[in-house]
Amino acid sequence: MKQESAAQSTPSASPPPSQPPQDDCDPQALWIFGYGSLVWRPDFAYSDSRVGFVRGYSRRFWQGDTFHRGSDKMPGRVVTLLEDREGCTWGVAYQVQGEQVNEALKYLNVREAVLGSYDTKEVTFYPQDTPDQPLKALAYVATPQNPGYLGPAPEEAIATQILACRGFSGHNLEYLLRLADFMQLCGPQAQDEHLAAIVDAVGTMLPCFCPTEQALALV
């Protein structure tokens, strides 16, 4: 098992600090940064999307979920952002414009804030292809002050919880594996030791939880 590390490997690209974040000069445009289920299922209309990263944050499976990936009796584990000076979190930024802005925010308020207990925070997003042209983006972050916050736990304990939980959006294991798949698509520079350790723990435990056929049905 990999040891819990607050710092994640950062990409080799080092954006010049003198370059201010951009907003594409459109006062009616908004960028929304997704680092969890939003990377594969935004479910709102958008005009553009870019893969990239934010600095100063690490992704952690420290938020409880009693709706999408769990229940009141068995909360699932989903990700939030932890402030970390050396951290780097990869995800997808979506641009919404005009009428898309209100529709996206209305939808995300229910999905992330009401059902997920996430707050909003402005972050600086660096596109993978143009890291020297950062963008201001809105991110949904679950803080320790919300009632669903579970906090840190050993990777094995998190893996056990993920294997046991299911919600209205599907099994918690699907959430974990889809996020891992996304990170692989970003390339070797997009490392997440916390995520990788949980995936490894799940791989070790899965045969003990259910036969192969049932395990495949979960995802």
Give residue 182's identity as a one-letter amino acid code. F
Q: Rounded to whole angstroms, how far apart are CA atoms 196 and 183?
A: 10
Q: Rounded to whole angstroms, how far apart are CA atoms 73 and 12?
A: 43
Backbone phi, then psi, for 214, in 5-degree steps?
A: -70, -35
Q: Which two tokens stand for residue 213?
A: 């056929």
Q: Rounded to whole angstroms, how far apart are CA atoms 100 and 164?
A: 37
- Return the number of other C-beta atoms located less than 10 Å from residue 132's C-beta: 12
Backbone phi, then psi, for 75, in 5-degree steps?
A: -65, 140
Give residue 154's Cα distance to chain centre.
19
Q: Rounded to whole angstroms, how far apart are CA atoms 38 and 91?
A: 8
Catalytic residue among 4, 83, 86, 112: 112
**Catalytic annotation present for 112:** yes
C-alpha dist (Å) from residue 74 to 6, 171, 183, 210:
27, 12, 27, 18
Radius of gyration (Cα) for the chain, nearest Å?
A: 17
Show which residues are catalytic: 112
